[in-house]
A and B are shown apart, each in its own frame.
Chain A
Amino acid sequence: MRIDRTHRAWATATIIALVFASIVYIAYAVRSPGGPRGGTALGLTFGIAGYALMLYAGLLGARKKVPVWRIGRAQTWMRGHLWLGLLSFPLILFHGGFAFRGPLTAVLMILFFIVIVSGVAGAAFQHYLPRIMLSEVPMETIYEEIPHVREQLRDEADELVMAGVEAEYDDKVMLREMYQEKIRPFLETPDKPGAEPPAEIFDSLRVVIPAAFHPVLDDLENICEEERQLNRQIRLYRWLHAWLLIHVPSSIALLVLGGVHAVMALRY
């Protein structure tokens, strides 16, 4: 989501909480005889608070599964996810006293690090990419439907070329041949690198093909442009969503293993 002025309250609250937690931690770390550890009362408090925040952040995914439930606006959850999720990281660092020596805790910390880094990266993507999409892909459609839309674009182009234009037979044949040769392959496999016909092709075709076909050429050019934009959309969309492939699995693993850690740590 776009990080704008509306986040000020959340950011301030997070920073205040962080400062407060840091003060508590420093005082505790200095004075506790055994050093800052997860097992002491305060360490445990940090751990529980951190895990609770993580759990809350993780619940965003679950909350999205029940969009109709009136349990707070999704954007409130999202803001919480962003800021409290971020806050959980220092809390967990405080919990462990910045040291994670056990195998499980080390794995957890690596996962957590991945989650936070991918999350921050994702937030950055979500901040910048929609605007790029807005300006660069005016003809965007629904990503999932792109193959379907492409079929329709292809059919539209086929129809355009086959449609009756009052013209000499030879010219019709020429247009169709040009289409089959230069344009159709691109429409067939638009995402294949190099399939894209150069922009000048239409200019050169306009010289060769009589004026009666120029509207058809204009439309074909427009269709190619749309295909081009869809290619761009696919790339941008992947950036916009692929980070979740890292973020979500690692956070789920983090939550599960974190739970195991909590149980086992309370046991020992």
Chain B
Amino acid sequence: MSDQIQLTIDAIPVTVPAGTTVFDAARMNGIAIPTLCHQQNETPVGVCRVCVVEAGGRVLTASCVRPAENGMKVSTNSEKVRGARRTLLELLMADHPSPCARQRQSNDCELEHLATLEGVTAPRYPRRLSPRGQDDSSLVIAVDHEACILCDRCIRGCDEIRHNDVLGRRGKGFNAGIAFDLNNPMGNSDCVSCGECMVSCPTGALTNKSVVRTVLPGEPVEAEELKQLHYFEKVSGTFLELNKNAVVRRHFRKGEVVCREGEYGSTAFYILEGTAHVFLSAPMAHVQTGGGATGLFSKLTSRLAGRQQDRREGENERRKIPIDASVDLPYDNPVAELGPGDLFGEMTCMSLYPRSATVQAATDCVMFEMLRNVLDIMQRNKTLKAQLDANYRKRALDDHLRSVPIFSSLTEEFIDSLRDRVELVRYNKGDMICHQGDIADAFYLIRIGFVKVSEVYPDDDLVLAYLGRGGYFGEIGLLGEGRRTATCTALDHVEVVRIHGEDFHRMMEEFPDVRQSLELVAQAHLEQNQQRMAVTSNVPLNQFLTQGLMEAQSLLILDLEKCTRCDNCVRACADAHDGVTRLIREGLRFDKYLVATSCRQCRDPLCMVGCPVGSIRRRNSLEVIIEDWCIGCGLCARNCPYGNINMHPFTVMVDSPESPGRRMAAIKQKATSCDLCTEHAEPSCVYACPHDAAHRVDPTKFFSAVLQQTVTGT
């Protein structure tokens, strides 16, 4: 190199190529200048000023951006420099949530390290008053804006190194901070979870989300090996290294169970080799009350009990049980097969839903088991997405379409013609899929996740339905006036199959019976919605509302002036439901009535959100029922705001795990909620009340007098 320049750093003469920064010059010669914002592989920006040195100028200069000059006398450690650096660190530390996440995780927060070196312990300056907050939306990276020192290292990593261009700056002054896309939460941004920003961050502002604590069983997968898989092509090596524990290779021998339904898990599986069977092992029983009387006596008594056929209206409409994989299970024989390249357990992994089915290795299998950060990385990968799409199109689309009863008559050819025309679209939690009043241009089938269908009114939203896997929406707009009649929002990680308007109309033309049944359903929905609107426009009342009674369609109330607390209702309920009560004689009071804890058939049934197998659902008459294939995960029970769903153990016959083919008794948890004793004319609790105290009523109608009175009274 011809353009060599000479300078002295801390009295040491050094020679460096022209254009070298003072920082680099010092570094080449073994003199370390402390810094925060500067990193070797990124363009220096000089924002933190920690690397200041005395270079003979009027003021101190940031060594990372100051090019070395011939004859320059640089002092990196003079009293003045150290004073300035101390003050800088003190100022930064004043605003730093020490110890920050990084310091806690790996004890390597650069800021805190420097501060310790410089002896900055108790900053003399007050903290800023306005909090900057945290962003927990990403699955792999925790964002703590409080710990951010605005060094811009992450921004440069995202933009310069990865060219993802997601990260940027936002705000000014106190409000300045890093931002994803247009200041979206990280999880909702276009971030592909490559991990570069996190690797770049000097403090706890961007940290890896606690993967370290989970140690998966199985052989760890080296980052290098992962990078071989094209799904991980663009992911930062350091990041993969950090997530080493989050993905393992597992070998399953034939017959081994990979995961069991109802279990809680946090991993997804990707099949490398071999095939696996996916099925529901929970016997379909007991959520409905067993009617199977065997002995003469029980036959007689069951006659007395007046049980009509124990089959609910619209029970077997579905031929498929939706599960957390790329296939659905047939109702009659809930078994399906998965092969190499299939990914399953996504919902469990992404939204922490319970496992929806049991997977058993059909041959010897090799799988990757991964935590959701890795899954997220994978899913954000375009190659994989394309492959999953293809898989879905190839295998699941017709099942999926046919699992909706009204589409069951579609012909093979038609579905084939759809295959390449449908789109798989992914939505994040909170995303709006379509908006009331928009032009209707597509029909949607839900593949993963839950969608809230609501009508928007000036005061409030009215939730019409929660649709889960296998649900469909958008037909009313397409069939009707061409505008959306309701707003559909993703409640969690949602994937939908989008069928274009033209295709839908073509389907309608080709299959008039499908059109007819769709129209019927659409008509019924419209009518119900209108009815409910009429009811809801009634008098709002504080207590009535706070107890959520307005939300209820049917309440079990006990007239406390008549009730002698004899508990006959509870016993009757237990008697009618194989010995477990679906009713608790406890709750809040309204007027002189006790609103007993028993399913209220909410207009907005929160319980239905998240059922991994779509077992809890609504009948056409809007009653909430739990289907027999409940796997007992208990999610609905937790979701119900009124404690009306309870988990009960039932003894059921299952295949013995030791000797397949043998049946044995096992205890299985199942969710139960009031089924209104549909097989009887009247709920058993009401029927069995000797004191005329228990009633099942429509609250708005029943209490209308009370409500009216209160209103006029006040």
By a beta-carbon cutoff of 8 Å, the part of chain A in contact with chain B is 1-2, 6, 60, 64, 66-71, 73-75, 77-78, 126, 129-131, 133-134, 138, 141-145, 237, 240-241
Residues on the B chain within 8 Å of A237, using CB: 565
Complex interface: stretch among B44-52, B320-328, B570-578: B570-578
B690 pairs with A133, CB closer than 8 A: no
B692 pairs with A1, CB closer than 8 A: yes
B561 pairs with A67, CB closer than 8 A: no
Q: How far is the CB of A124 from chain B (nearest CB, A)?
A: 12
Q: How far is the CB of B581 from chain A (nearest CB, A)?
A: 11
Q: Which residue from chain B places its CB closest to the CB of A237 in the assembled complex?
A: B565
Task: Give per-residue flags for B566-595: 1 if the beta carbon is below 8 A from chain A beta carbons, else 0.
Answer: 111001100110000000111001001000
B562 on the A face (CB < 8 A): yes
A237 to B560 CA separation, bound complex (whole angstroms): 13
A1 pairs with B304, CB closer than 8 A: no
Q: Check A1/B305 contact, CB under 8 A, given A68-B684, A141-B586.
A: no
B620 on the A face (CB < 8 A): no
A1 pairs with B690, CB closer than 8 A: yes
A74 pairs with B592, CB closer than 8 A: no
B561 pairs with A130, CB closer than 8 A: yes
Residues on the B chain within 8 Å of A126, using CB: 564, 691
B680 on the A face (CB < 8 A): yes
Q: Given B562, B586, B589, B687, which contacts A70 in the complex, CB threshold below 8 Å?
A: B687
B561 pairs with A70, CB closer than 8 A: no
B377 on the A face (CB < 8 A): no
A141 to B564 CA separation, bound complex (whole angstroms): 13
Residues on the B chain within 8 Å of A66, using CB: 301, 304-305, 575
Residues on the B chain within 8 Å of A133, using CB: 560, 565
Q: How far is the CB of B680 from chain A (nearest CB, A)?
A: 7
Q: Which residue from chain A places its CB closest to the CB of B585 in the assembled complex?
A: A142
Residues on the B chain within 8 Å of A1, using CB: 562, 564, 690-693
A131 to B693 CA separation, bound complex (whole angstroms): 12
B306 pairs with A69, CB closer than 8 A: yes
Residues on the B chain within 8 Å of A144, using CB: 567
Q: Check A78/B690 contact, CB under 8 A, given A71-B304, A142-B586.
A: yes
A70 pairs with B680, CB closer than 8 A: yes
Nearest first, the 10 closest Cβ-Cβ pairs linking A and B are: A70-B306, A67-B572, A67-B688, A78-B690, A1-B691, A134-B560, A69-B304, A74-B690, A75-B692, A2-B562
B689 on the A face (CB < 8 A): yes
A130 pairs with B562, CB closer than 8 A: yes
Residues on the B chain within 8 Å of A130, using CB: 560-565
Q: How far is the CB of A5 from chain B (nearest CB, A)?
A: 12
Q: Which residue from chain B places its CB closest to the CB of A236 in the assembled complex?
A: B565
* Interface hits, B325-361 → A, CB 8 Å: none
Residues on the B chain within 8 Å of A73, using CB: 682, 687
B691 pairs with A2, CB closer than 8 A: yes
Q: Check A134/B592 contact, CB under 8 A, given A68-B684, A74-B688.
A: yes
Q: Which residue from chain A places its CB closest to the CB of B558 in the assembled complex?
A: A130
Q: Given B562, B565, B682, B691, which contacts A143 in the complex, CB threshold below 8 Å?
A: B565
Known: A70-B687, A75-B691, A130-B563. 9 other contacts (CB 8 A): A1-B690, A64-B690, A68-B305, A68-B687, A74-B572, A75-B690, A133-B560, A134-B592, A241-B566
A60 to B688 CA separation, bound complex (whole angstroms): 11
Q: Which residue from chain B places its CB closest to the CB of A133 in the assembled complex?
A: B560
Residues on the B chain within 8 Å of A78, using CB: 690-692
A24 to B353 CA separation, bound complex (whole angstroms): 75
Q: Check A68/B576 contact, CB under 8 A, given A133-B560, A134-B561, A142-B585.
A: yes
B305 pairs with A74, CB closer than 8 A: no
B301 pairs with A67, CB closer than 8 A: no
A68 to B571 CA separation, bound complex (whole angstroms): 9
Pairs A–B under 8 Å by Cβ, sample size 7: A1-B562, A67-B684, A74-B689, A75-B690, A78-B691, A130-B560, A240-B565
Q: Which residue from chain A places its CB closest to the CB of B692 in the assembled complex?
A: A75
Q: How far is the CB of A31 from chain B (nearest CB, A)?
A: 42
Q: Given B561, B682, B684, which contacts A2 in the complex, CB threshold below 8 Å?
A: B561
Q: Check A70/B305 contact, CB under 8 A, given A6-B692, A64-B568, A78-B690.
A: yes
Residues on the A chain within 8 Å of B585, using CB: 142
Q: Which residue from chain A places its CB closest to the CB of B575 in the assembled complex?
A: A68
Q: How far is the CB of B304 from chain A (nearest CB, A)?
A: 4
Q: How far is the CB of A231 from chain B (nearest CB, A)?
A: 16
A131 to B682 CA separation, bound complex (whole angstroms): 27
Q: Which one of B304, B589, B688, B693 has the highest number of Cβ atoms from chain A below 10 Å of its Cβ?
A: B688
A70 pairs with B564, CB closer than 8 A: no
Q: How far is the CB of B570 from chain A (nearest CB, A)?
A: 8
Q: How far is the CB of B405 from chain A (nearest CB, A)?
A: 32
* Interface hits, B644-699 → A, CB 8 Å: 680-682, 684, 687-693
Residues on the B chain within 8 Å of A68, using CB: 305, 572, 575-576, 680, 684, 687-688
A134 to B589 CA separation, bound complex (whole angstroms): 9
Residues on the B chain within 8 Å of A71, using CB: 304
Q: Which residue from chain B places its CB closest to the CB of A145 in the assembled complex?
A: B586
A71 to B572 CA separation, bound complex (whole angstroms): 13
Q: Check A70/B575 contact, CB under 8 A, given A2-B691, A75-B692, A134-B560.
A: no
Residues on the A chain within 8 Å of B572, using CB: 67-68, 74
A87 to B566 CA separation, bound complex (whole angstroms): 25
Residues on the B chain within 8 Å of A77, using CB: 690
Q: Which residue from chain B places its CB closest to the CB of A137 in the assembled complex?
A: B560
Q: How far is the CB of A196 from chain B (nearest CB, A)?
A: 23
Q: Which residue from chain B places its CB closest to the CB of A143 in the assembled complex?
A: B565
A1 to B694 CA separation, bound complex (whole angstroms): 12
Q: Which residue from chain B places its CB closest to the CB of A64 in the assembled complex?
A: B568
Q: Which one of A60, A67, A69, A126 has the highest number of Cβ atoms from chain B below 10 Å of its Cβ?
A: A67
Q: How far is the CB of A41 from chain B (nearest CB, A)?
A: 35
Q: Which residue from chain A places its CB closest to the CB of B570 in the assembled complex?
A: A142
Q: How far is the CB of A226 from chain B (nearest CB, A)?
A: 13
Residues on the B chain within 8 Å of A138, using CB: 589
Residues on the A chain within 8 Å of B691, using CB: 1-2, 75, 78, 126
Residues on the A chain within 8 Å of B564, using CB: 1, 126, 129-130, 240-241
Q: Which residue from chain A places its CB closest to the CB of B691 in the assembled complex?
A: A1
Residues on the A chain within 8 Å of B562, using CB: 1-2, 130
Q: Given B560, B563, B687, which contacts A67 in the complex, CB threshold below 8 Å?
A: B687
Q: Which one of A64, A74, A134, A138 has the highest number of Cβ atoms from chain B below 10 Å of its Cβ?
A: A74
Residues on the A chain within 8 Å of B560, using CB: 130-131, 133-134
Q: Which residue from chain B places its CB closest to the CB of A126 in the assembled complex?
A: B564
Q: Check A69/B692 contact, CB under 8 A, given A74-B568, A141-B586, A142-B586.
A: no
A67 to B685 CA separation, bound complex (whole angstroms): 8
Q: How far is the CB of A266 from chain B (nearest CB, A)?
A: 31
A138 to B589 CA separation, bound complex (whole angstroms): 8
Q: How far is the CB of B263 from chain A (nearest CB, A)?
A: 29
Task: Give per-residue flags for B172-187: 1 if the beta carbon is below 8 A from chain A beta carbons, else 0.
Answer: 0000000000000000
